[in-house]
Each structure stands twice: as C-alpha cells, then as structure tokens.
Structure 1
Amino acid sequence: MLEGKVGLVTGASRGVGKGIALGLGEQGATVYVTGRTETGGAQPTPLPGTVQETAAEVTALGGRGVAIACDHRDDEQTRRAVRQVVDEAGRLDVLVNNVWGGYEYFWDGTPFWEEAGFWTQPIERWDSAFQAGVRAHYVTTVAAAPTMVTQGSGLIVNVSSEGAVKTDTGVAYGAAKAATDHLVACMAHELRDHGVTAVSLYPGLVRTESVLRAAEYIDLSDSESPLFVGRAVAALAADPDVTRHTGQVVSTAGLAEEYAFTDPG
C-alpha cells in the first residue's frame, strides 16, 4: 500500500498517464495529476478526459487526487506545478514523467501517408517530441529532485517505449525515446548516492483512447489497459528494495511477472 505517499504524474488527463494515476490511487497514494485539458476548457485533442476527471477517479479508488492545469512546454508552469506539490504535501515520493509531444499529425488533419518518411515531416514534429517530451521530463525532474535528495528517497519513472531501440517507429520519436532512456541512466548515476531511484518504463501496446479510436486497424490481442501500467508503477513505488532497478529499463510485462499483479482488462 502507498498510504502517506505522494506522487506527481504528468500528462494524466487520459491514456497512460491517467492509468498510472489510478494505479497509484488504488493503493492509497495522494496523486497530483497534470495536463492541459481542464473542465470547461477547450480540448487540445478530440478525445475525452480532463485532469479534474482523473483526480476525481483517483479519489474514488481510495487515494486522493489533485488536479493541476499545466502545459509542460512552458518551463515556469512546470516549476509552479512541482512547487505546489511540495508546498501542499511537504514531500514527493514518486514522479512519473509521462507527458509527450510530436503526435500532432493525429489531430491536425494531416493524412498519415503524407508523413511516411522523416523528410516529409515538418521540423516541428522533432521539436515537439523533444520539447514536450524530453525537455519536459528533464525540467520536471530538475524541479523535483531537490526534494527527493533532501528526503533521501524517491522514485522517478520516465515513460518510454521500445521505440528507443527499434528503427521502425519514426526518426523523431525513436531519437526522443532513446534520449529519454539515456537521460534516466545519467540521472540514476547522479542520484544513486542520495537514495533516489530512476527508471525507464516500457509499456506494451496500451488501449488508450487514441488507440481504441483506431481499433479496427490494430491487433489488440496482446494489448494492455492503462491501469495495468499504473499497477506496474505502484508495484515499483511500494518496493522497499526498488533501488536495485535504478538506471535500468523495465517493462510492464516483466514487472507483472516479478510483482505478481494482473491486468484488470
């Protein structure tokens, strides 16, 4: 159980981030969730989900959810979000860097075949993956690390993917995910002596709202629910010996085998 523990999950209006927030919440944690989509606000994407709704679901599961509207492309908004967590809760035990960018072609009307090669894509796709993804992970962790170092404990999880090591997932995406993994390895090296653990997490194919929207084109027979990813993070957060994983890439499937949690479906 994670009662008394405090987590921050970025990019948690929906999808994997929401699943991670719920996974922490069902174990009793206080979970701060960030996202751009607010109740009553304009949707950045044509998908359901808001930070307020996620926070309410965390609370309904037995945790305590707190919503923070934040665009992590803005460094000052990111710093303010972390300050709010520390000021209100007095500690930070789990940071999950999930927010990402570079997916705009799903929503801006660009036919997928028009961006079939990296040379056909606007440079903004690269910039978005690194600014809203890698840079946001770095800035959030820079803001959170002093609290964890002072505590002498903490878990940092960067949501990554096999795209970091594969060559068929797109140049910008693959390069950004590889950068995320190396970011974790280097952070773990510097944080090890302070009792803070950092890992990269590879989910499988997750049944997010975006994936389900395209379900007729995707084989979902070996897919995962977002909450399954959340249970992976919760298992790591509850492990008193989690430092043995620091600097490593871990997968949801591997963690399920190690910690014996299941996918609710």
Structure 2
Amino acid sequence: MTEAKDTPRPLAGKVALVAGATRGAGRAMAVELGRAGATVYATGRTTRGHVSEVGRATETIEGTAELVTAAGGAGIAVPTDHLDREAVRALTGRIDREQGRLDILVNDLWGGDVHVGWGKKMWEHDLEKGLRVLRLGVESHIVTSSFALPLLIRRPGGLVVEVTDGTEEYNRRYREPFYYDLAKSAPIRMAKGLAEELPEYGCTAVCVTPGWLRSEAMLDTYFKVTEKNWRAGCEQNPHFAISETPVYVGRAVAALAADPDVARFNGQALSSGGLAKEYGFTDVDGSAPDAWRYLTEVEQAGRPADTTGYR
C-alpha cells in the first residue's frame, strides 16, 4: 500500500534496531517505527535461506525489512543470532559505520516457546531446554544491550525498549513453568536496571508488553484460525475475544519513540492497552483492548467472558 505524502514522519532521521523482528510483535514494531519515518535494522535468525529452531520458514527478516520500506521507512535486514557475541558486535559496528548513530533499541528477542515444557514442575523440566529458554529470553537481551548501548548513549534522547509478556502487576503471579516465569520477569528488571544507568546520558529505558497477541503462531498453531476469522478461536477459549493484533503494540512503541517527554516513563513496565489510553491510538479494527486488566478482572476472577468496557 502506498503511503500518503503527508503522512507524519516524527521519527525521520532516527535509527532503530529491532532485535527479534522476524514475526509477531517484533515485526510490527519494526514496521510501525518505519511508518513513522525511522531507518530500521531488522534482525533475527530466520532468513529466506535459513530457518531457525522456531521452524516458521515463511516469516523472514527480509520480509520484515521490505514491509518497513513499504510503510515509508528504510528497512535493513541483518541476519543475526543474538547469542553470538561476534555477530552482535559486527551488527552494531555496521550500524555505526552506515548511520553513525542509534536512537532506538528494541529488545524483542525470544523464540523460546518451542523449548518450554508446559505443565512441568521445575525438576521435571528438561534442564537443557530450560536453560535454552533463559539464553533466548534473557542472555540474548543482555548481549545485545552490551554492544548496542555504547552507540545509543552517544546522543541524548535514546530509548531502550525491553519487550516481555505480562505487566509487572500481572507477573507477580507465577507464570508457570519455572523457566518461562524467569524469562518473562527478567526484561522488567532489565528495564529498571538500565533506567538507573541511562539518565545521565539523557536516555530512557522502559519495558513494554503486548496483551493477548494474535501472532502468526497463536493464530495458526494454537487456534487454527486466520486473522480474517480470528473470532472463531473464541469457540475454543471465549476470553480470546480480548486479543489484539501485533500492530497494536507496534503503534505503542512508535508512540513512545516519538514522544519528546518519554523520560517520564523511565523504568516503568508499560502495556499496549495502557499506552493506547495515553496516546490515543487504536488497534487496526478501531478498538483499544486492555487485555491485562481484562485477564485480571474477568478471566482470573472466574467471570464469564465479556469484553464490554475492556476494548
């Protein structure tokens, strides 16, 4: 789709790295940052010539970069395993050579679902798979920040977005199993830690979570539906009615990145639904789902599924 010439470009001239941009939330964040005018380096492990352990060959970083460019930004695909320190060093060196700056770092690295032993106690869980979950969901973020932050702090106004699943309040509950709980709590703590270290450079760190995300895998693997008929998934779980597209959290991150006063959120764990109230954007259908409030007040409370007042 061709963008209108008068589409606002609040991020024109800005450079973003979306680490983990192959699909889902990461892809949408990259595209929405591009729509706002940013140059976006989209990284991940699945390319048109190589499929990662996630096993989804049709979603590639090249595809993401093309969508970024089509949206009005400049998309640059760089195959990167973010557990490979030399690969990440080379990635940030390339950004430095080509752009001389980095304004936005989004750590959306994951890919651990295939290793999670759902329903297993800690001692029953395969240890190597559990440690792989932590490497993919925690170590990868740390490696990326270690190499990217020296470039980001060169200029004031830099933004780091750690991405997780669940708000800080919701994640006070045990997000079983053990390794998943650790992997999804860690980004909140990483954002808080960086929020203590970045302000002297004029930079900000936050953590962002989507709600119940209608990712490609959620749609076709778990619910056996498409985006066009996604409501059919409510027959399996009526609470799926509160779900949201990846675009919603993409818009949330783009709004944060374009906010000159984003430092007011430094160290906070934010949600797509909460940020929609702050900035006034909606999901693609014009609704504004507040999934985590719904999941707490309706699903967790054992009430019948009813999204009235929640989207």
Common fold: TM-score over 0.5 = yes
Can you list the C-alpha shifts for 1:6-46, whole angstroms capped at 9, x where unaligned? 10101111111101111111111111000111113235333
Within the candidate set 115, 127, 130, 1:123 is matched to: 127
In the TM superposition, structure 1's runs of 4+ consecutive aligned residues that sit over 6 Å from their partners are none
* Structure 1 residue 99, shift from structure 2 partner: 0.7
In the aligned structure 2, how far is the partner of 1:204 from the partner of 1:125? 26
Which secondary structure state, in structure 2, belongs to the residue aligned with residue 151 of structure 1? coil
Segments of structure 1 that go 5 or more residues without pairing to the other structure are none
Instruction: Report which stretch shifted further, 62-71 or 172-181.
Output: 172-181
Structure 1 or 2, whichever has the larger Rg, is: 2
What is the correspondence of 1:1-265 to structure 2 with a 5 Å cutoff? 1-47=10-56, 48-105=58-115, 115-162=119-166, 164-213=171-220, 214-215=222-223, 216=233, 217-218=236-237, 219-265=239-285
Can you list the C-alpha shifts for 1:167-211, whole angstroms capped at 9, x where unaligned? 143211111222221111111101111111000112101110111
On the 8 A contact 1:37/1:43 being kept in 2, the answer is: yes
What's the Cα RMSD here? 1.7
In the aligned structure 1, how far is the partner of 2:160 from the partner of 2:115? 29
* Structure 1 residue 101, shift from structure 2 partner: 4.1
On the 8 A contact 1:165/1:174 being kept in 2, the answer is: no
In the aligned structure 2, how far is the partner of 1:41 from the partner of 1:131? 20
**Structure 2 letter corresponding to 1:245:** F
Which secondary structure state, in structure 2, belongs to the residue aligned with residue 221 of structure 1? helix
* Structure 1 residue 95, shift from structure 2 partner: 0.4
Which secondary structure state, in structure 2, belongs to the residue aligned with residue 235 of structure 1? helix
In the aligned structure 2, how far is the partner of 1:35 from the partner of 1:57? 15
Can you list the C-alpha shifts for 1:80-105, whole angstroms capped at 9, x where unaligned? 11221221111111100001143224
In the aligned structure 2, how far is the partner of 1:132 from the partner of 1:76? 16
* Structure 1 residue 77, shift from structure 2 partner: 1.2
In the aligned structure 2, how far is the partner of 1:42 from the partner of 1:255? 34
Quick check: which one's helix share is greater? 1
Sequence identity of aligned pairs in percent?
42
Q: Normalising to structure 1: TM-score of the pair?
A: 0.92
Label 1:132 to 1:58 Cα distance change in 2 as closer, same or farther (>3 A).
same
* Structure 1 residue 117, shift from structure 2 partner: 2.7
On the 8 A contact 2:115/2:130 being kept in 1, the answer is: no
Paired residues in the alignment total 259
Q: Normalising to structure 2: TM-score of the pair?
A: 0.79
Instruction: Report which stretch shifted further, 39-48 or 93-102.
Output: 39-48
* Structure 1 residue 227, shift from structure 2 partner: 1.1
**Structure 2 letter corresponding to 1:52:** E
Instruction: Report which stretch shifted further, 199-208 or 170-179.
Output: 170-179
Segments of structure 2 that go 5 or more residues without pairing to the other structure are 1-9, 224-232, 286-311
On the 8 A contact 1:6/1:91 being kept in 2, the answer is: yes
**Structure 2 letter corresponding to 1:177:** K
